[in-house]
Structure 1
Amino acid sequence: MDTGILDVPGAQLYFEVRGSGPAFLTILGGGGDAAMAAPLAGALADRYTVITYDRRGATRSPLTGPPREQRIEEHADDALRLLCEVGAEPALVFGTHSGALIALDLQARHPERVRRLVAHEPPSFALLPDEAHWFSLAREAVALCRQEGVGPAMRKFGEETGVTAPPEPDPNLPAWVKDMLTRMSANMEMSLLYEMLPFSRYVPDADALRTAPLALASGVQTRSMLMHRCTLAMGKHLGVEPVELPGDYVGYLRSPAEFATELHALLSARPGQP
């Protein structure tokens, strides 16, 4: 595995490259970072050159100025610069949760750089009929994070959404897992305070994406939950019928081998297939 640091406007991006074959970029959401994508990357490295990274504002990809409200478009520009740095053109892309929104924006504005996209559970609250309720919940979670911290905020948010905070590191866990969980807690604070509200308002350009080579997916274990509803709403917005992938909202981490097999099938689909 090779690692690197890429200077981008307003931040430095930590990234990892492993494997060989067609370029495959992963974009995680929330508090996730390159380590959280590592099991999936390992399962796909015999088929692809897998690029994983920490998004701007994460612990290993620090901002070069004070924290501020984040924009999907800025994060998509980061992904574009990373693809240019690695020399990947065009690339297969897997984006999950807010990473899926970033990936959709990347494909909408730079279709020549995306060979095929799998967008997993994109959390666009603005597409839901009861969007006011979810924006209210998001505002409550942000306020609680400022007052009491990540744990209480994520418990509040998770009660209705099923998306929970990362667990406290167990002393018996492997060192890389403990380090990842520690970083995730810090990254989640950034995500809650500066990403949740602006990201969940984002609605991708349907005209640019309606004929794009993409698949929408949700976890088989998240049926009827908020992220599944968001995926269905996004499918209606884009005219795409969503499919299911193994596991829940982090199936790529809990069951990486099974998830990788199904994801590879979606990435390899011919035009016109889901």
Structure 2
Amino acid sequence: MLDVPGARLHYELRGRGPLVVLAGAPMDADAFTGVADLLALDHTVLTTDPRGINRSTVDDPDRDSTPEDRADDLARLIAHADAGPAVAFGSSGGAVSVLALAQRHPGSVRAVIAHEPPLIDLLDDRAQRRAKTEEMIATYLAGDHRGAWVKFLANANIHLPGEVFEMMFGGPREGRAAEDEYYGFVRMLRGTSYWRPDLEVLRTATVEVGIGEESAGQLCDRTSRALATALGTTPTLFPGDHTGFLDHPKEFAALISARG
């Protein structure tokens, strides 16, 4: 655990060698276990639960988690590990965190890989996407967590078989899972998806945008391509879809390892 302003962070270190950071939001450290174990064969690998999620507690649960907060947390963890600068890989909200890290703490990173950041403000239909985001948050706060997930997946253009949806989102929530879900919808979603990167700063950094090979037509495919276009780069295709690192850890580990 590491105490930082406003939070106490759970983190894990594996292996020895050049430092790699794997970041999610709201995904916790456990989501990257497969990739981390493989990278740890020849890297030092840092994973963490983002503030307010799972084992990382916050002093004020009514305060929003912002990409800037999470970037500062990652910079402090990198300094604490004393093995940087790092190659930082982030997926989904974690991709936004590592982009903010590159902006705020450029000395902490050698390269950043942003895998499917949900930056809806880069899209032409940003107003519609914001409205849909507000609808899903309102639905969640009204007590309909199932309906909120229906709206979330529809906005993301992600289609799940009925039985998979029910297994993941249909049941009752309790304990830590309920707290994390609340924090993700209410304290993390707006700040993450509405964040606008400083493109001039990021163009001076080593930033790679990753997109799932099976994500075509999904919201994060669109936002990722918009980011790559704005940065003047070509996106890199990763296996799978938005959570491809869960099903293809070997391939993700190889792609990340090749960056340092």
The CA deviation at 1:81 is 0.6
Distance 1:186 1:162 in 2: 25
* 2:45 aligned partner, one-letter code: V
- Report what 1:234 is aligned to: 227
TM-score by length of 1: 0.86
Distance 1:120 1:225, change over 3 A: same
Q: Deviations over 1:15-70 (max 9, x none)?
A: 1111111011111122x111111111012111211100000001210111232222
- Report what 1:130 is aligned to: 125
Assess if the C-alpha contact under 8 Å between 1:54 and 1:60 holds in 2. yes
Assess if the C-alpha contact under 8 Å between 1:33 and 1:184 holds in 2. no
Distance 1:111 1:135 in 2: 30
The one of 204, 208, 211 equivalent to 1:215 is 208
- Report what 1:113 is aligned to: 108
The CA deviation at 1:184 is 5.4
Assess if the C-alpha contact under 8 Å between 1:71 and 1:195 holds in 2. yes
1:158 maps to 2:153: yes
- Report what 2:69 is aligned to: 74
- Report what 1:22 is aligned to: 18
Pairs within 5 Å for 1:167-182 = 167-168=167-168
1:142 maps to 2:128: no
The CA deviation at 1:202 is 0.8
In angstroms, what is the RMSD of aligned CA positions? Answer: 2.0
Secondary structure of the corresponding residue to residue 93 of structure 1 = strand
Q: How many residues align?
A: 251
Distance 1:69 1:166, change over 3 A: farther
Assess if the C-alpha contact under 8 Å between 1:117 and 1:215 holds in 2. yes
Distance 1:39 1:97, change over 3 A: same
- Report what 2:91 is aligned to: 96
* 2:249 aligned partner, one-letter code: P
Q: Unaligned regions of 5+ residues in structure 2, if any?
A: 170-174
Q: Percent identity?
A: 34
Distance 1:119 1:167 in 2: 29
TM-score by length of 2: 0.90
The one of 245, 248, 273 equivalent to 2:238 is 245
Q: Deviations over 1:137-195 (max 9, x none)?
A: 110110111112433211211023145779449xxxxxxxxxxxx85554232111111
The one of 254, 260, 264 equivalent to 2:253 is 260
Q: Deviations over 1:184-225 (max 9, x none)?
A: 554232111111112211111111111311210110010121
- Report what 2:183 is aligned to: 190
Q: Unaligned regions of 5+ residues in structure 1, if any?
A: 170-181, 269-274
* 1:264 aligned partner, one-letter code: S
Secondary structure of the corresponding residue to residue 58 of structure 2 = coil
Distance 1:59 1:149 in 2: 22
Distance 1:55 1:167 in 2: 24
- Report what 2:7 is aligned to: 11
Secondary structure of the corresponding residue to residue 67 of structure 1 = coil
Distance 1:69 1:211 in 2: 29
- Report what 1:172 is aligned to: none
Secondary structure of the corresponding residue to residue 135 of structure 1 = helix
Q: Deviations over 1:244-272 (max 9, x none)?
A: 1011111111121122223323x14xxxx
- Runs of 4+ with deviation above 6 angstroms: none
Distance 1:8 1:214 in 2: 26
Distance 1:247 1:186, change over 3 A: farther
- Report what 2:197 is aligned to: 204
